[in-house]
Amino acid sequence: MRTQTGMWLLSASVMLGLSGLAGCGGDKGGEYRSFDKGKDAAPDAETGKVHTHDHDHGHGPHEGELIELGEEEFHAEVVVDENKYKLTLYLLGADAKTAVAIDAKELTLEMPGKDAPVKYALKAGPGDADGKASHFEITSEALFDAFHENSKAVGKFNVSIGGKEFTGEIKHSHDDDHDHDQKHEEKK
């Protein structure tokens, strides 16, 4: 008797489940369309502004990490060359592609230090017209050591573009293939 009741319950459950699935494959009811990231954007929880544009915040035109400056007004792209201890900062427009040149000979990157912040000068790179610069660079083993010694270290820089001040943050990613511990042992 127990076996017959169990089989009956199992059969009834299967039939009920199958009848429920049969209703899911038909008309979707009402209008249906696919997600369109250009049209379907929710407002930001903090600012209430809708964040829509045709780029992601992954990599820029030089394959570096992108940093948002302001509310999508400008971007900075950070390109790191670990082997040469070189960091290059490119200033880009709202599209995260177009170079934006400013009237500056250097930018200061401020890193947390043991007792006080440590400042590093990023010098204007060559190549821009009218004495302006769209990229700044530094070659410094000490800067890379500061990032490696504290994986949560954040460098901050201020830049003035079009008369407006922006602050950017650089976080060094350790998603590379080299062994930081081995490199530091070799230096000792």
Residue with more model confidence, 124 or 4: 124
Positive or negative: CA dihedral 131, 134, 139, 150? positive
In a domain, 8, yes or no: no
pTM, rounded to two decimals: 0.64
Asked whether residue 6 is assigned to any structural domain, the reply reads no
In a domain, 71, yes or no: yes
Domain contains 118? yes
pLDDT in tens, 34-89: 344 444 444 544 445 444 444 445 789 999 999 999 998 999 999 999 999 999 99
Does residue 136 lie in a domain region? yes
Instruction: Give Rg (Cα) of the chain.
Output: 27
- The per-residue pLDDT for 114 is 87
CB 137 within 8 A of CB 123: yes
Is 31 part of any domain?
A: no
| Helix or strand holding residue 146 (H, E) | helix 141-149
157 vs 8, which has greater pLDDT? Answer: 157
* Mean pLDDT, residues 135-147: 94
pLDDT at 126: 81
DSSP string for 32-89: -----TTT--PBPTTT--B---S--SSB-TTSPEEEEETTTTEEEEEEEEGGGTEEEE
How many percent of the chain have pLDDT more than 90?
49
Report the pLDDT value the prediction gives residue 135, as an integer from 0 to 100: 96
State the average pLDDT for the chain. Answer: 76
Total of domains in the chain: 1
Buried b (16+ CB within 10 A) or exposed e, 1-31: eeeeeeeeeeeeeeeeeeeeeeeeeeeeeee
pLDDT at 76: 97
pLDDT at position 128 is: 73
* Burial (CB count within 10 angstroms: exposed 0-12, middle 13-18, buried 19+), residue 65: middle
Q: What is the pLDDT of residue 77?
A: 97
The answer to whether residue 172 sits within a structural domain is yes
CATH of residue 138's domain is 2.60.40
Can you tell me the mean pLDDT for 144-148?
91
Residue 100's domain comprises 65-187
pLDDT confidence of 110, banded at 50, 70, 90? very high
